[in-house]
Structure 1
Amino acid sequence: MLQATTLKFLKDLKKNNNRPWFEGHRKQYEATKEDFLAMLEKLIAAMGSFDAPIAALKAKDCTFRINRDVRFSKDKSPYKTNIAGYFNRNGKKANGSGYYLHIEPGGSFAAGGIWMPEPKDLAKIRQEIDYSFDEWKKIMGNSAFKKTFTEGIKGDALVRPPKGYDDSNPAIAFIKQKSFIVTRPFTDAEVQSKNFVKDVAATFKTMKPLIDFLNAAVE
Structure 2
Amino acid sequence: MNFKDLFNFLAQLQQNNNKEWMDANRKWYKSLRNDFIVWLDDLDLTMAQLHNDYFPTPGKRGINRINNNLMFHPHKPIYKDHFGAGLDKAPNSADFYIEIGVKQCLLAGGFWRPEPKTLRSIRDGIDYNGEELQEILDRPSFKKLFGGLYEDEKLTNAPKGFANDHTHIQLLRNKTFAVEHQLRMEEVLQNDFKEKIIEVYMEMLPFRQYLNNSASV
Q: Secondary structure of 1:56's partner? A: coil
The verdict on how the C-alpha distance between 1:159 and 1:55 changes in structure 2, with shifts beyond 3 A counting, is closer
Shift of 1:192: 1.1
The 1:106/1:79 distance shift into structure 2, 3 A limit, reads: closer
Shift of 1:151: 3.8
Shift of 1:38: 2.5
Residue 6 in structure 1 maps to residue 6 in structure 2: yes
Give the partner amino acid of 1:25.
N
Instruction: Find out whether 1:212 has 2:213 as its counterpart.
Output: no
Structure 1: give runs of 5+ residues left out of the alignment.
none
Q: Which runs of 4 or more aligned residues in structure 1 lie more than 4 Å from their structure 2 counterparts after TM superposition?
A: none
Distance 1:51 1:217 in 2: 19
**Worse-superposed segment, 114-123 or 177-186:** 114-123
Distance in 2 (alpha carbons) for counterparts of 1:154 and 1:97: 17
Larger relative contact order, structure 1 or 2 (CA cutoff 8 Å, min sep 6): 1
Segment of structure 1 superposing worse, 192-201 or 45-54: 45-54
**Which residue matches 1:71?**
71
After TM superposition, give the deviation of residue 110 of structure 1 in Å: 0.4
Matched with 2:117 is: 120
CA deviation vs aligned residue, 1:15-36 (integer Å, no higher than 9, x gap):
1011111111112112221232
TM-score, normalised by the number of residues in structure 1? 0.92
After superposition, residues 139-218 of structure 1 pair within 5 angstroms as 139-218=136-215
Cα shift at 1:105? 1.2
Secondary structure in structure 2 of the residue aligned to 1:85? strand
Task: Determine the C-alpha separation between the residues in 2 that align with 1:66 and 1:88.
Answer: 20
User: Once structures 1 and 2 are overlaid, which stretch shifts more, 159-168 or 6-15?
Assistant: 159-168
1:218 deviates by 1.2
Of stretches 190-199 and 73-82 in structure 1, the one that deviates more from structure 2 is: 73-82
1:117 match: secondary structure:
coil
CA contact (8 A) 1:110 1:184 kept: yes
Structure-2 change in CA distance of 1:132 and 1:149 (3 Å): same
1:35 matched residue in structure 2: 35
CA distance in 2, matches of 1:152, 1:177: 9
Q: Report how many aligned residue pairs link the two structures.
A: 216
More off after superposition, 161-170 vs 148-157: 148-157
Query: What's the CA shift string for 1:30-68, capped at 9, x where partnerless?
Result: 222123222212221222122445463211110111222
Partners of 1:106 and 1:188 within 8 A in 2: no
CA root-mean-square deviation: 1.7
Superposition map of 1:106-117 within 5 A: 106-117=103-114
TM-score normalised to structure 2 length: 0.92
Percent of aligned pairs sharing the same letter: 29
Q: Post-superposition shift, 1:86? A: 0.8
> How far apart are the structure 1 equivalents of 2:150 and 2:112?
11
Q: Give, in angstroms, the shift of residue 95 of structure 1.
A: 1.5
**Uncovered stretches (5+) of structure 2, i.e. residues with no partner:** none
Deviation larger for 171-180 or 135-144:
135-144
- Paired position in structure 2 for 1:62: 62
Is contact 2:68–2:77 with CA below 8 Å preserved after alignment? yes
- Counterpart in the other structure of 1:98: 95
Q: Is contact 1:47-1:55 (8 Å) kept?
A: no
